[in-house]
Amino acid sequence: MDTGQKISAIKGGEFIIKDSRVEEVFTPEDFNEEQLMIRDMVNDFVDNEIEPHIQEIEKQKDGIVPKILDKAAELGLLGTHMPAEYGGMEMDTNTNTLINVTIGRGGSAIVSFAAHTGIGMLPLLYFGTEAQKKKYLPKLITGELKAAYCLTEPTSGSDALAAKTTAVLSEDGQHWILNGQKMWITNAGFADLFTVFAKVDGEKFTGFLVERGAEGLTFGAEEEKMGIKGSSTRQVFFDNVKIPKENVLGEIGKGHLIAFNVLNIGRLKLGQLTLSGAIRSHSLSAQYANERVQFGVPIASFGAIQYKLAEQAIRNFASESANFRISNMLQLMEHELKEQGMSYAEAKRVAAEEYAIECSIIKVYASEALDYVVDETVQIHGGIGYSEEFPAARAYRDARINRIFEGTNEINRLLMVDMLLKRAMKGKLDIVGPAWEVQKELASMPAFDTPQGTFGQERKALKNFKKLILMVAGAAAKKQMDKELNLEHEQEILMNVADMMILTFIAESTLLRVEKLAATGKGKQPQDVYDAVLKALFYDYNDAMAKIARDAVASFNEGDLLKTFLMGVKRYTKYPTVNIKEMRRKVAKAVIEANGYPF
């Protein structure tokens, strides 16, 4: 499905130095009729195949989750992102995003779905030989085979390349022999095909395809987890496991390319799935707040509850806006790459690699937004929110893993800054020029121009947010070049820069969506509700950016230089004061009337 857009794709990380346009974004209000029909089908699947069986899923009773995957396969949902030549439906990226932000409300059963369709299938799609793809992909799409991904070990988590599992070639040169163990492996209890990472001759990190039933392949007991109890999680052991030599995945010694590229899409998908869970949890909050009567009135009429309902909605709207913006970035680039002659699979891999920064941003933001939403859902429910008889408690438990999945949020924050600086050093992004312009601007008198247009204040604030990033990152980079600072040992500063990057990208995504709604009139709510979301978000982010930037510059500057930077922080955080209470009440009113997420 073509969105009809003919906009050139921007570079990954370029949002920091380039103003994005409304025409570049895709929003949920842009779905066509076919996409809406797919959404309805996915909603029916969750309503009929998952929701009635939550208790059995939580207990992993009678192999129910593999059966749910089989049902998903019957609807084509295991292959919507796969090439038609292997039996897939080859749907575009925005449609696949819609599927994920719809199906994600299905709870822990969807963890298994995501592991199968994402980290389970994508390594094969991206790096498999044609023979490997023909052998396995059609059966993974139909659900005849289930997939798992074996990367983490007891001594290697975030430091994946420190793996100790080994692979050596047999004396006759016909087989690889694997020894070692993996842990926290989703779908291990029922998977038929495992992507396993091991070191050839103890040093060359390499991917392998291992089939269930291989002699020497054994499994630990199901892990007793805090949440996502319906997903199978086990240790996997390799004791002289012999696999055919043709089951090497990709090149020997290039396993890191598989691991890192697949994680990019894993982070993107996680952002989509956590958004889905957050919207569902928010709707539970609204429904309970409308039903629960205290002191003779529904608790939804209380200002303290309205604050929570509004803030849940604002964070979900922002997450939704950013998710579909990134989705369209990938779709535009994939389209360009395919026009240049790349295959469907290669275009998807290269586009995901290009937007690795944005994938990390949405993984971090959406998972932390979900945590806020589920926490406040429990609080709005009060005592029964703490009871396992009601869904609020399960949502709270299930949410916590997402800040650990696909690289911890701390690792992702460090990665996004590292990737930005590396892109700058390789000449892929001109960060130095814009950073130098900011430094020169700090030495000049500020302009007293009045922002023009309906969203003039937000546009100006967004430009200033970007200048703050360049100011802090540029100053820190210069200190490092002058050997006055070693950023490898200053993770706090890197985290500060990452947080500013996240807030800026999310703010811009929200602004672009609200601007587009103002231009098209496609919103479900009156425009003033969207404007209230935008103003509340910018008002809060302005203060957050000021604090983060102050914390950063004060950690590696002093004296007159510190004073200069602090003046810069003040100069670039001048978003006007708004009646934040009324902004949130306006949003809360829309939530209460919709009895759920109103957008």
Strand partners, 205: 199
Instruction: Name every residue whose Cβ is closer than 8 Å to that of residue 419 and which is 6 or more positions away in sequence.
Output: 12, 13, 356, 357, 360
Among the listed residues 75, 149, 76, 163, the one whose alpha carbon sits nearest the alpha carbon of residue 118: 149
Q: Each residue of 32-51: b (16+ CB within 10 Å) or e?
A: eeebeebbeebeebbeebbe
Among the listed residues 204, 76, 232, the one whose alpha carbon sits nearest the alpha carbon of residue 147: 232
Burial group, residue 488, by CB count within 10 angstroms (0-12, 13-18, 19+): exposed
**N residues, the chain:** 599
What's the CA gap between 351 and 207, in Å, rounded?
A: 22
**DSSP code, position 406:** T
What's the CA gap between 93 and 99, in Å, rounded?
A: 10
User: Is 222:233 a contact under the CB 8 Å cutoff?
Assistant: yes
376 is catalytic: no
Task: Find the Cα–Cα–Cα–Cα dihedral 279, 283, 284, 286, rounded to 10°.
Answer: 140
What's the CA gap between 312 and 374, in Å, rounded?
A: 9
The continuous run of DSSP H or E covering 197 comes out as strand 193-200
Catalytic residue among 368, 406, 458, 515: 406
Residue 120, number of CB atoms within 10 A of its CB: 26
CB-based contacts of 527-530 (< 8 A; 24+ apart in sequence): 528/586, 529/586, 529/587, 529/590, 529/598, 530/599
Give the pairing type, strands 175-186 and 193-200. Answer: unpaired
Amino acid at 399: A
Question: For residue 95, how many C-alpha atoms fall within 13 Å in the half-sphere facing its CB?
Answer: 21
CA distances from 430 to 14, 121, 495 (A): 9, 36, 21
Among the listed residues 511, 27, 599, 517, the one whose alpha carbon sits nearest the alpha carbon of residue 313: 599
Residues belonging to the active site = 406
